[in-house]
Chains A and B, each alone.
Chain A
Amino acid sequence: MSELLRESDPASQQVSSPSPSPESKTYNEQNDSESGAAEKKTPVKETNTEAVQEEEPFFDFQMFINDLKNPKAEPLVKYTRSFLSNFVTQKKFWTAEEQEKLVRNFKVFIYGKFSEFEPFNTLDRAKLNNAQEGLEKLIMGKLYPFCFSPELASKIDIEELDESHKNDVLNDQFLEDKIAEYSFIELDNLDVPNKISTKLSRFLRLAGKELNKINHFKAPRDKMVCILNSCKVIFGILRHFKLDKDGADSFIPLLIYVIIHGNVTKLVSNVKYIERFRYEKFLKSEDQYYLSSLQAATNFIINMNRKDLTIKDEIEFDAQYTVNQETQKKLREEKELKQKQEQEASAHPLTESPYNPIDDITSSMVSMFSDFFTNAASTPAVAETDGSTAVPTPTPTSKAATPKRRRSSHNRAKDDLFMQTAVKKMEEDEQAETVESLVEMFPDLPPELIEDICIAKKYRTGVCVDTLLNLYE
């Protein structure tokens, strides 16, 4: 068995289970049809009566999993298991282009198979859509360690990686270096009409916070929602300062500013990952626009030099630049020291790998699902007989089940309880922060109203901003 697989087996079973939603609010709402949804953007104004309707978009991962657990859907589970197993065993690693093709072909194949098996062949269009989303989230959650460039680079020496994965990681670093170099720049350096007051930093922090969540999630959809939410907040800022009429002339510089000051890491890799693994059908219109804008903004920053900035006072700019160079140098040294300490600490056998807490918590919330998949994986594989070449013959992966079995059910219950409490606390803090930011963003609206809207919209920032913007008009 390949080194790659051995390293990633426990991860694919425990840590990389897909998180239910970017806002991880689903724990107490699993039966709510809207739960599990990091809300898909809702257009600011939208009314439909035509026959060609887009249903109110919803996403409910649990609903998909429940359907998949239906015994009649077992062949779909087998296809998926077989695909995942072959993806990680057939080759030490695939190039990004190969991965993209494999994943896309599998989706086309399995989405086609939905029409052959209950309960999927009886779903209405909205639910079928949900199932397709669910499947994408499921497989990409499992394949994340192999497909997300920084994850891959943490396992394989960068020089051994294929060109695309390697470039992603290098560009992430170029971007981060450039952000550090110019971390002091202000909006007027970027040609934003100078109408914006100092209150702005608060709003932009909210936008940066939303964008930062991109590294908390594994599903391409969830990452995309983080981008959309961030862009909605930027739009809210523009509208608040009456700059929305300038469209992209204001939007693009603000987006660049948010990236520089939001301290978002691995952005290039994230954009590439979404482009590669978000199913084409789902990545269109507004999503595509904002993804392209993010890509444009990151390119701009990577190539940014003094000559690309509007500098009113050269001497002052030089002084700031020098001070910033010193600051960055100190920060780098501190970071290196910290890394060294961490490395020493991680030699200790009990130290957990530094995984994102939200992902860990949400992973444990869907442990039920992991069990489901693990158990399924330990049953004997059945060779497919329909001659389909899209899905290779399943390979038993019972080895994958081992890490789970080591934990007693008692321990797991205890862990779950701890996780529940931790999730609740985290949620409450985040909710309070969201309300606070929105109150500041919409000073003309009564705070109670804003809070009510947050509750009604389940604290989904993008939707809240949308709703408030409508009231604001």
Chain B
Amino acid sequence: MLQFKLVLLGDSSVGKSSIVNRFVKDSFDEFRESTIGAAFLSQTIALQGQPDVSVKFEIWDTAGQERYKSLAPMYYRNANAALVVYDITQAGSLEKAQAWVTELKEKVDDDSLVIYLVGNKVDLAEADQEVCAVPTPEAQQYADDNGLLFGEVSAKTGQGVQDTFQAIGQKLYDLKKNEQGALQGSTDGHVDIQLPRPSTNDSTGCCV
């Protein structure tokens, strides 16, 4: 099983916690472990089309209020992925998300950090085009220019939420695969998904 740390960033009103709650709730499966805590959640999913690959997300929520912004580095250090959330119905919300992306790119040394930009509350915009304050192409363009994954979701209806985590999981898996392929110099496409572990026989060694 692959285990990844995902940090959740975004302003307090964009519904970042709701997206994760939706993700954990919808993928609740009696065969897979999940943890629901105040601000820490974990969920294991199987990758689409690769049912034998399990990806466990450890999701670190951050406080979105402006005054707690300075605490974020404590949370995103050693993260494998960041989900940066904005609200498509709030003008100016994308700029705040962009500030997070800039900070991540500056402060996180790891080039393999996967950043996913996600616009929430797509259900509201679908009900009434008028409320959409951040046009999709604008956000898409920004994501493309900066090498981010991008999507729009609704935490309320669940639309796009699973796809978001599938895409992050797939990307992290591919990165890991390449990394290990490079290490092993293997060309046969075989991937050993056992991660390097501490010297003890721990089953859930973390890849960070």
* Least Cβ–Cβ distance between B208 and chain A, in angstroms: 9
**A249, B38: Cβ atoms closer than 8 Å:** no
* Least Cβ–Cβ distance between A372 and chain B, in angstroms: 26
**A46, B34: Cβ atoms closer than 8 Å:** yes
Interface hits, A193-251 → B, CB 8 Å: 231, 234-235, 238, 244-251
| Chain A interface residue number, banded | 35 or more
A54 CA to B17 CA in the complex, in Å? 27
* Least Cβ–Cβ distance between A296 and chain B, in angstroms: 4
Residues of B contacting A253 in the complex (Cβ-Cβ under 8 angstroms) = 63, 65, 68
Residues of B contacting A128 in the complex (Cβ-Cβ under 8 angstroms) = 200-201
**B203, A247: Cβ atoms closer than 8 Å:** no
Residues of A contacting B204 in the complex (Cβ-Cβ under 8 angstroms) = 52, 54, 284
Contact of A296 among B21, B54, B74 (CB under 8 A): B74
Interface hits, A246-268 → B, CB 8 Å: 246-253
Q: Is A388 an interface residue (CB 8 A)?
A: no
A108 CA to B70 CA in the complex, in Å? 35
Residues of A contacting B21 in the complex (Cβ-Cβ under 8 angstroms) = 245, 247
Residue ID in chain A nearest B34 by CB atoms: A45
Interface SS, A side? helix
A108 CA to B202 CA in the complex, in Å? 13
* Least Cβ–Cβ distance between A275 and chain B, in angstroms: 12
**A54, B203: Cβ atoms closer than 8 Å:** yes
**B32, A50: Cβ atoms closer than 8 Å:** yes
Residues of B contacting A285 in the complex (Cβ-Cβ under 8 angstroms) = 35, 40, 42, 58, 206
Residues of B contacting A48 in the complex (Cβ-Cβ under 8 angstroms) = 33
Q: Are A52 and B201 also in contact (CB < 8 A) when A45-B28, A245-B21, A252-B68 are?
A: no
Residue ID in chain B nearest A303 by CB atoms: B70
Residue ID in chain A nearest B64 by CB atoms: A249
* Least Cβ–Cβ distance between B86 and chain A, in angstroms: 15
Q: Is B61 an interface residue (CB 8 A)?
A: yes
* Least Cβ–Cβ distance between B136 and chain A, in angstroms: 26
Give residues in A with beta carbon < 8 Å to B: 43-50, 52-54, 108, 111-112, 125, 128, 132, 191, 231, 234-235, 238, 244-253, 280-281, 284-286, 289-290, 292-293, 295-297, 299-300, 303, 308-310
A-B pairs with beta carbons under 8 Å apart, 13 shown: A50-B54, A52-B204, A128-B200, A191-B65, A247-B8, A247-B17, A252-B68, A284-B206, A286-B35, A286-B40, A289-B58, A297-B71, A303-B70
Q: What are the 10 closest A-B residue pairs judged by CB atoms, nearest first?
A: A247-B17, A43-B35, A248-B61, A235-B38, A252-B63, A248-B39, A289-B40, A296-B71, A247-B61, A251-B39
